[in-house]
């Protein structure tokens, strides 16, 4: 089989699918600064936009999840009115489209945006309105993107059943699934079984943050007790894989996840910044890809990691020698794993993704 080397030009032109991206983790630094000035928020570490952009990126030696999460206090502070949420959602959709993303599922926790009295339904509607506006703006520039929303519950806040019901109530308006996010250690998925059972009874979709900062028990609970359709991160499944000579031996949980084709929403640069992986070169995504887990590539938080989906593909291509064919395989994995209706997934794959990569391969 012939292979095509990945270049920045090919990566930029290739259709991409994004399944794991946080709305409050992808705000433009300039927008944070502007909105903070408008509301008199004075807790930002600097008033210089370039310095602020650098501050948000938690890539210093010894960085961990605690340092990584510090930036969210500032982005959430400027996402407390309908206009603020609409603007940030609009810019998110537009920025992703201009990066070549053709389908995205953006997640956020509405419960974190009520500090100024917004109702939960107002928070969600503001985000949906913003996504629609950004999508239209991108279309006017010749870029087409489909943006859908995942409602997250903060696993330490004990409002997960309320958030699950909220997600279901907006299922016909652009919300495509439910998630729990926040610190894994000490807050296992099984504490939220009532929320997951509600989602199951409603024939709805769920993904669960598991296997990032915490290990195999988090993945096991998410899969076996909560029946997660996808795993947010999930990279610690590599802890259940043993190298024996020139071969790899999968433990029972790793075999189950691979056999069931449970998608892994892998975010390599974010994992390095939170301490879940020591370096990009040592990240288990390449092993998981070679072993044919249902791997997808994602950004997690574009602001906090200083990345785009294109730059993430470029970094992994440099680290692991990925080709255009590998990028297409990962993109198809993401499309197949999306919370999009089956016929719509097929149309996305057959009418957008496969023709897009075929055109790139045909370039002289």
Query: pLDDT (tens digit, 9 = 90+) per residue, 129-150?
Result: 999 999 999 999 999 999 999 9
Partners of 233 in the beta sheet? 210
215 vs 226, which has greater pLDDT?
226
How far is 175 from 178, CA to CA, in rounded Å?
8
The reply to whether 348 falls in a domain is: yes
Q: For position 60, what pLDDT does the model report?
A: 57
The reply to whether 225 falls in a domain is: yes
Worst-scoring range by mean pLDDT, 115-129, 178-192, 336-350?
178-192
Residue 1 has pLDDT above 90, yes or no: no
Structure-token pair, residue 328: 């297409």
Structural domain harbouring 23: 8-361
Q: Residue range 249-253: average pLDDT?
A: 98
Considering its fold, how many domains does the chain have in total? 1
The reply to whether 2 falls in a domain is: no
14: left (phi over 0), alpha (psi -120 to 50) or beta: beta
The reply to whether 219 falls in a domain is: yes
The reply to whether 72 falls in a domain is: yes
What are the backbone angles phi and psi of residue 60, rounded to the nearest 5°? Answer: -70, 155
Q: Which residue has the tokens 């100024």?
A: 116
What are the backbone angles phi and psi of residue 344, rounded to the nearest 5°? Answer: -70, -35
Active site residue ranges: 212
The reply to whether 90 falls in a domain is: yes
Q: Residue range 21-47: average pLDDT?
A: 97
Rounded to the nearest integer, the mean pLDDT of the chain is 95
The reply to whether 3 falls in a domain is: no
Q: For position 67, what pLDDT does the model report?
A: 72
The reply to whether 343 falls in a domain is: yes
Question: 354, 324 in Cβ contact below 8 A?
Answer: no
Q: Which residue has the tokens 């991409």?
A: 16
Q: Residue range 71-91: average pLDDT?
A: 97
Confidence of residue 64 (pLDDT cuts 50, 70, 90): low
Residue 84's CATH number: 3.20.20.140
Residue 102 has pLDDT above 70, yes or no: yes
């Amino acid at each position: 089989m012939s292979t095509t080397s990945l270049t920045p030009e090919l990566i930029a032109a290739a259709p991409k699918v994004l399944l794991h991206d946080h709305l409050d983790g992808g705000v433009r630094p300039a927008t944070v600064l502007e909105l903070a000035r408008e509301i008199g928020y004075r807790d930002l570490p600097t008033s210089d936009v370039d310095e602020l952009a650098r501050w948000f990126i938690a890539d210093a030696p010894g960085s961990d999840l605690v340092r990584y999460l510090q930036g969210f206090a500032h982005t959430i502070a400027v996402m407390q009115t309908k206009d603020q949420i609409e603007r940030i959602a609009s810019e998110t959709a537009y920025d992703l489209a201009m990066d070549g993303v053709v389908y995205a599922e953006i997640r956020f926790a509405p419960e974190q945006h009520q500090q100024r009295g917004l109702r939960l339904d107002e928070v969600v509607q503001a985000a949906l309105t913003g996504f629609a506006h950004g999508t239209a703006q991108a279309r006017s520039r010749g870029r087409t993107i489909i943006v859908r929303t995942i409602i997250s519950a903060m696993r330490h806040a004990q409002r997960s059943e309320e958030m699950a019901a909220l997600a279901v109530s907006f299922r016909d308006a652009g919300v495509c699934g439910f998630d729990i996010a926040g610190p894994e250690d000490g807050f296992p998925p099984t504490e939220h079984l009532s929320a997951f059972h509600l989602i199951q009874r409603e024939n709805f979709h769920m993904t669960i943050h598991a296997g990032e900062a915490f290990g195999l028990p988090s993945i096991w609970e998410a899969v076996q007790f909560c029946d997660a359709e996808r795993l947010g991160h999930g990279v610690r499944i590599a802890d259940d894989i043993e190298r024996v000579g020139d071969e790899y031996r999968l433990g029972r949980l790793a075999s189950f996840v691979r056999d069931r084709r449970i998608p892994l929403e892998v975010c390599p640069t974010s994992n390095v910044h939170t301490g879940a992986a020591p370096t990009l070169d040592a990240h288990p995504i390449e092993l998981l890809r070679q072993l044919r887990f249902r791997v997808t590539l994602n950004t997690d938080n574009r602001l906090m990691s200083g990345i785009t989906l294109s730059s993430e593909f470029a970094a992994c291509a440099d680290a692991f020698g990925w080709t255009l064919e590998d990028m297409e395989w990962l993109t198809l994995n993401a499309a197949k794993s999306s919370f999009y209706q089956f016929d719509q997934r097929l149309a996305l794959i057959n009418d957008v993704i496969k023709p897009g990569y075929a055109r790139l391969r045909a370039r002289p």
